[in-house]
């Protein structure tokens, strides 16, 4: 076995004293790919005298396909994430962000999540699995007003935001303010956008039922999509059915339309001629119009392709024009993995989705281990199983490619969506939490309780712990004369200074 024979080159590097002094397989990112690579390798590498190290700013893997259901209040937020500590017991965990990789010297620089000083982490192998981030365009006001749907925190904020806006809006008397509060906009008609707007609409409908001060007709949902169709993952006729389904729920679907400006009111334009379209106000602007490879990859010495992803061979080793780069691997949304089935993106690479990420992670772990024993590596090849999407309770669409092609709509598709994702959720413990949560909701209904002050949880305590201003000095006792026993005002004198100033305002 040639495991870690080159480890000597790492001696003398500056690194954190807390790090284990063992040959390291460094996994950058503990999302879908990172979690599964670590799960598959941690024991083998430990038994061989090494250590798998996962670096991620988050202490958990996020099951992103559940984010819309978290935003819709159908899944408890904690159940949609998988704790690294609980499930990666033989893995060294570092909560931080890899800011750069110098593969020539086998080191990565980590910025710890607590904001402390950066430190170097030496490694023998590196697995790049930092995923993708939301892709935006330079639209004025978008950064100030918008929110994405890539993290569990965003999903929680959306759920609370919808409930809060409906509650607050229901008290508003100014029609303009009320309409703004009750208007919800999603930009991007891909899977994430459609699932997001439908789950939010479902939640809003449930909240409105509980609130006699607001009518369903007052709540406005708008989907903005730049292309002439939505959901490229399903057939044209299914996509059309989805548009009709959304419209039947009162969701406005604006195709060939783009957001041009978000300063003040939202200004939309028609595409491709860029003529002005609608303009209206909204407090809720969700941006789900695409993702891009995590830009951290630009701070490495790895070869990139035009879309900014790291170049890999079908066996998931990183390779550039100069050939294969030893001990460097990548998979998932950050990597341009060739799709050997020929059904991928127009450039011949795999579509960035969880279906591929999971299987690439398993293949990568096997190949990395095989490379240690000079065994042949196997190329990644996976035939797409299709797509399932949930649109709120009992509603959905599915395009299954298991035995031939099966198209489903409505409750059956929704059951397929829940069945597939319930089983695909990593770890048995998490599957059980999600599935039992669904069963519970079936009997007791959706929970539409809004959690307050999540962004300022100390507010009440700070107010309670801050000394109240001292009361103004008591007025001097009136002389014991004829006015004694009468109220001050009656005696022609003010009761105290505050009373005077309050009255005169």
Ligand X SMILES: Cc1cc2nc3c(=O)[nH]c(=O)nc-3n(C[C@H](O)[C@H](O)[C@H](O)COP(=O)(O)OP(=O)(O)OC[C@H]3O[C@@H](n4cnc5c(N)ncnc54)[C@H](O)[C@@H]3O)c2cc1C
Among 45, 51, 55, 203, the residue binding ligand X under the rule CB under 6 A is 55
Rounded to 10°, the helix 152-171/191-209 angle is 40
**Residue 24 phi/psi, 5° resolution?**
-120, 140
Comparing CB distances to ligand X, the nearer of 57 and 494 is 57
Among 75, 130, 162, 207, the residue binding ligand X under the rule CB under 6 A is 130
Q: Is 355 in the site for ligand X (CB under 6 A)?
A: yes
CB 85 within 8 A of CB 38: no
Among 73, 332, 338, 392, the residue binding ligand X under the rule CB under 6 A is 332
Among 32, 184, 287, 329, the residue binding ligand X under the rule CB under 6 A is 32
CB 39 within 8 A of CB 58: no
Q: Write the secondary structure of 218-250 as one string of H (helix), E (strand) and C (coil).
A: HCEEEEECCCCCCCCCCCHHHHHHHHHHHHHCC
Report which DSSP code applies to 336.
E
Among 294, 300, 371, 399, the residue binding ligand X under the rule CB under 6 A is 294
Stretch that binds ligand X, among 27-35, 44-52, 434-442, 443-451 (CB under 6 A): 27-35
CB 352 within 8 A of CB 333: yes
Q: Is 10 in the site for ligand X (CB under 6 A)?
A: no
Give the span between the Cα atoms of 283 and 241, in whole angstroms: 29
Shortest Cβ 338–ligand X spacing (Å): 16
Comparing CB distances to ligand X, the nearer of 269 and 297 is 297
CB 282 within 8 A of CB 161: no
User: In terms of Cα–Cα distance, which of 183, 189, 201, 194 is closest to 265?
Assistant: 183
Q: Which of positions 174-203 make contact with ligand X (CB under 6 A)?
A: 191-192
Q: Is 58 in the site for ligand X (CB under 6 A)?
A: yes
Q: Is 57 in the site for ligand X (CB under 6 A)?
A: yes
CB 52 within 8 A of CB 25: yes
**Residue 458 phi/psi, 5° resolution?**
-90, -5
Task: Report long-range pairs for 375-380 (Cβ below 8 Å, ≥24 apart).
Answer: 377/315, 377/317, 378/315, 379/313, 379/314, 379/315, 379/340, 380/314, 380/315, 380/316, 380/331, 380/337, 380/340
Among 10, 37, 40, 64, the residue binding ligand X under the rule CB under 6 A is 64
Count of CA atoms in the C-beta half-sphere (13 A) of 200: 36
Q: Is 425 in the site for ligand X (CB under 6 A)?
A: no
Stretch that binds ligand X, among 64-72, 215-223, 271-279, 300-308 (CB under 6 A): 64-72
Q: Is 259 in the site for ligand X (CB under 6 A)?
A: no
Among 10, 33, 222, 416, the residue binding ligand X under the rule CB under 6 A is 33
Comparing CB distances to ligand X, the nearer of 131 and 338 is 131
Q: Is 352 in the site for ligand X (CB under 6 A)?
A: yes
Among 65, 161, 169, 386, the residue binding ligand X under the rule CB under 6 A is 65
Among 28, 70, 82, 413, the residue binding ligand X under the rule CB under 6 A is 28
Q: Which of positions 68-127 make contact with ligand X (CB under 6 A)?
A: 68, 97-98
Give the chain's end-to-end CA distance (angstroms, integer). 86
Give the span between the Cα atoms of 445 and 329, in whole angstroms: 45
Shortest Cβ 163–ligand X spacing (Å): 20
Binding mask 356-385 for ligand X (x = CB under 6 A): -x----------------------------
Comparing CB distances to ligand X, the nearer of 67 and 208 is 67
Residues that bind ligand X (CB under 6 A): 28-34, 55-58, 64-65, 67-68, 97-98, 129-131, 149-150, 191-192, 294, 296, 332-334, 352-355, 357
């Amino acid at each position: 076995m040639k495991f870690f024979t080159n480890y000597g080159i790492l001696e003398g590097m500056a690194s954190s004293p807390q790090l284990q002094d063992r040959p390291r397989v460094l996994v950058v990112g503990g999302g879908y790919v990172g979690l599964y690579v670590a799960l598959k390798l941690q024991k083998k590498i430990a038994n061989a005298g090494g250590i798998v190290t996962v670096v991620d700013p988050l202490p958990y893997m996020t099951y992103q396909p559940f984010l819309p259901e978290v935003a819709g209040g159908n899944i408890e937020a904690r159940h949609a994430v998988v704790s690294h500590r609980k499930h990666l017991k033989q893995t060294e965990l570092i909560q931080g962000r890899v800011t750069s990789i110098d593969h020539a010297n086998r080191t990565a620089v980590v910025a710890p999540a607590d904001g402390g000083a950066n430190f170097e982490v030496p490694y023998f192998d590196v697995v790049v699995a930092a995923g993708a981030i939301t892709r935006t365009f330079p639209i004025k006001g978008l950064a100030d007003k918008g929110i994405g749907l890539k993290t569990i925190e965003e999903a929680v904020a959306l759920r609370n935001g919808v409930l809060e806006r409906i509650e607050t809006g229901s008290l508003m008397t100014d029609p303009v303010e009320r309409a703004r509060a009750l208007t919800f906009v999603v930009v991007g008609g891909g899977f994430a956008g459609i699932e997001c707007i439908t789950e939010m609409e479902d939640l809003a409908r449930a909240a409105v039922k509980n609130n006699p001060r607001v009518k369903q007709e007052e709540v406005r949902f708008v989907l903005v999509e730049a292309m002439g169709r939505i959901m490229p993952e399903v057939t044209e006729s299914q996509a059309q059915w989805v548009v009709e389904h959304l419209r039947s729920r009162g969701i406005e679907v604006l195709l060939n339309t783009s957001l041009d400006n978000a300063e003040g009111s939202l200004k939309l334009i028609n595409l491709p001629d860029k003529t002005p379209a609608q303009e209206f106000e909204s407090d809720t602007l969700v941006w789900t119009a695409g993702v891009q490879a995590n830009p951290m990859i630009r701070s490495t010495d790895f070869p990139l392709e035009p879309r900014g992803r790291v170049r890999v061979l079908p066996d998931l080793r990183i390779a550039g024009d100069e050939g294969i780069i030893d001990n460097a691997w990548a998979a998932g949304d950050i990597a341009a993995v060739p799709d050997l089935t020929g059904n991928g993106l127009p450039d011949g690479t795999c579509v960035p989705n969880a279906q591929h990420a999971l299987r690439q992670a398993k293949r990568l772990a096997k190949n990395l281990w095989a490379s240690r024993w000079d065994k042949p590596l196997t190329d990644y090849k996976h035939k797409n199983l299709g797509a399932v999407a949930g649109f709120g309770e009992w509603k959905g669409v599915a395009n299954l490619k298991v035995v031939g092609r099966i198209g489903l709509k409505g409750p059956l598709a929704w059951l397929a969506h829940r069945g597939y994702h319930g089983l695909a959720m990593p770890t048995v413990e998490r599957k059980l939490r999600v599935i039992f949560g669904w069963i519970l909701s079936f009997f007791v209904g959706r929970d539409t309780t809004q959690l307050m002050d999540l962004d300022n949880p100390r507010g009440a305590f700070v107010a309670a712990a801050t000394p109240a201003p001292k009361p103004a000095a008591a007025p001097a006792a009136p002389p014991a004369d004829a006015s004694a026993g009468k109220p001050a005002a009656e005696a022609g004198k003010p009761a105290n200074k505050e009373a005077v100033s309050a009255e005169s305002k």
